[in-house]
Amino acid sequence: MEKQLRKLALRATNSLKVASAASLMLFVAAASAQTSITVTNGDFELPGANEGSWANVDGWSTDTDTGGSGVETAGWWASGYPSYYAYTNSAEATIFNLTDHIIDASEEFSVTFDAVNVWQGQYFTITLFYDTGDGTRVPLGTQTYDLGTDHAGAGLWQSLELTAAAVPASAGAKLGVEFDNSGNLSGDNWNAIDNVAIVETTPLSSRDFELNKNTFKVFPNPSNGSSFKIVLNSIESSVNVKVYSVLGKVVLNKDFALSSKTIEVNQNLNSGIYIVKVNNKDSSKLIVK
């Protein structure tokens, strides 16, 4: 999970670097709040031992449990690999995990995972789905990945991602993720997965970030990223300051006790465009070089 969060942070940083002041309102309109969705046993650390049946693996199920795949922590392709992972073969067509997340029609989802071709398991399909309530899995998005054919050593794990949006029919249903070893049904095709994580993004209305320069001013602007000041029009006893990235992530949330109209905010920020919000209402743009 920590590795997935680092990847998401890197993507956000790269997005900030290409932002420009002229495109601020476009970013604001498209900004989103991100929330992690619990995927039970997404790292396959349970049951904490090698297990060859999905019936005994917490959180995960399969349509056809032949006892040919499951969870393990050793393999010639994973020399030195420190944790458990799932291994799948094509005889067991799918494995899936139904989360407790109830879908809202406005949501979008991103699932990240690691995968490797173990033996002739070149193709691997992932699907985000919703459950109709009777066990029927309806796809929201699906993609087949080519894991490559070179599996002659360790270090071949790939980090992959699928994004999908909710549809009106999915509202109120539970979200799930499904993996399918896409080889032939002989069972001679093997691949492995690990670190399954899902993030939900809810678009933020641009009204959440209405800019109002009359109540306070931010300077220097642009800032060098290490600190900036907020000058208020009036002295308040205390003020709450929130700073949002253009992706809608809160990077600072702090209360300040005041004796003057000036607030000094010491916060290391990466280059990009931010929204500074005071007392959860008035907002202003901040550019960091």
pLDDT reported for residue 162: 92
Kindly tell me the burial class for residue 177, based on how many C-beta atoms sit within 10 Å of its own C-beta (0-12, 13-18, 19 or more). Answer: buried
Q: Which two tokens stand for residue 32?
A: 């989103």
Tell me: the pLDDT tens digits for 37-81?
A: 999 999 999 999 999 889 999 999 998 877 678 999 877 666 666
Higher confidence at residue 93 or residue 116? Answer: 116
258 pLDDT above the threshold of 90: no
Instruction: For residue 212, give the 3-state DSSP assignment.
Output: coil
Average pLDDT of the residues in 78-104: 84
Q: Which residues of 88-107 are buried (b: 16+ CB within 10 A; e: fewer)?
A: bbbbbbbbbbbbebebeeeb
Which pLDDT value is given to residue 18? 36
Residue 169 has what pLDDT? 93
User: C-alpha 69: how far from its chain's center?
Assistant: 27
∠ CA(26), CA(27), CA(28), 5° rounding?
90
> How much is the pLDDT for 6?
41
CA–CA separation, 100 vs 39, rounded Å?
9
**Would you say 208 and 226 are in contact if contact means Cβ atoms under 8 Å apart?**
no
What are the tokens at 54? 């999905």
- Name the DSSP letter for residue 261: S
Segment 154-206, tens digit of pLDDT: 447 889 999 999 998 999 999 999 999 876 555 578 889 999 999 987 655 54
Question: What does the pLDDT average to over 123-143?
Answer: 94
Mean pLDDT score across all residues of the chain: 79
Burial status of residue 175 (CB atoms within 10 A of its CB: 0-12, 13-18, 19 or more): buried
What mean pLDDT comes out for the span 6-21?
40
